[in-house]
């Protein structure tokens, strides 16, 4: 068995086939060594690839990938991105389309009206961590108020009960 990197990117949105996305990829450029044979100095830049998601494979596991396609000057270009790669800085969903298939490979040969997808309303999702935090605070506040109420009613119960003589 091979060891896999267990660090998964948690900031990946819910990507589906038919989404138009922007993938921010880190590209490392190496310069040629100089006359004295010094070590190579590396430069990094972020390259954006915007296109349509044709397929998503392997779900949420560490080896999951997406296939993204865009047309440049009449030539179709496809890239396969590993979702949990450290070279992927960010993924943005621009728009979402209605599709009825899990793999959209037919769009490679489709022309004209057949190549169009219907857009659907889409609002970007908020990170799940931010949504859960206020709920926890509300529950803790409710528990504290219940404790205060029970403490306030216990002395009243003692006063109301008749004493046996």
Mean pLDDT of each 10-residue bin along the chain, 165 residues long: 64 92 91 66 89 94 95 94 93 94 92 85 65 54 63 56 58
| pLDDT at 40 (0 to 100) | 66
| pLDDT at 130 (0 to 100) | 46
| 65 contacts 81 by C-beta, under 8 angstroms | yes
Backbone angles phi, psi at 156, to 5 degrees: -65, -40
The token duo for 39 is: 């070590």
- Which H or E run contains 43? strand 42-57
| pLDDT at 2 (0 to 100) | 54
Give the C-alpha distances (Å, rounded to integers) separating 74 from 5, 71, 108. Answer: 38, 6, 12
The token duo for 46 is: 């972020």
| pLDDT at 124 (0 to 100) | 74
| pLDDT at 1 (0 to 100) | 47
Three-state SS at 2: coil
């Amino acid at each position: 068995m091979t060891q896999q990197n267990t660090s998964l990117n948690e900031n990946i949105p819910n990507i589906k086939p038919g989404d138009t996305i922007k993938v921010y990829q880190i590209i490392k450029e190496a310069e040629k060594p100089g006359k004295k044979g010094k070590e190579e100095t590396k430069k990094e830049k972020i390259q954006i690839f915007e296109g349509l998601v044709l397929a998503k494979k392997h779900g949420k596991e560490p080896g999951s990938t997406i296939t993204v396609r865009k047309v440049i000057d009449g030539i179709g270009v496809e890239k396969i991105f590993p979702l949990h790669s450290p070279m992927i800085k960010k993924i943005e969903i621009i728009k979402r389309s209605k599709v009825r298939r899990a793999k959209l490979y037919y769009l490679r040969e489709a022309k004209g009206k057949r190549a169009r997808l219907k857009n659907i309303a889409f609002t970007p999702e908020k990170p799940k961590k931010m949504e859960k935090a206020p709920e926890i605070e509300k529950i803790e506040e409710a528990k504290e108020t219940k404790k205060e109420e029970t403490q306030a009613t216990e002395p009243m119960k003692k006063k109301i009960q008749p004493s046996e003589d």
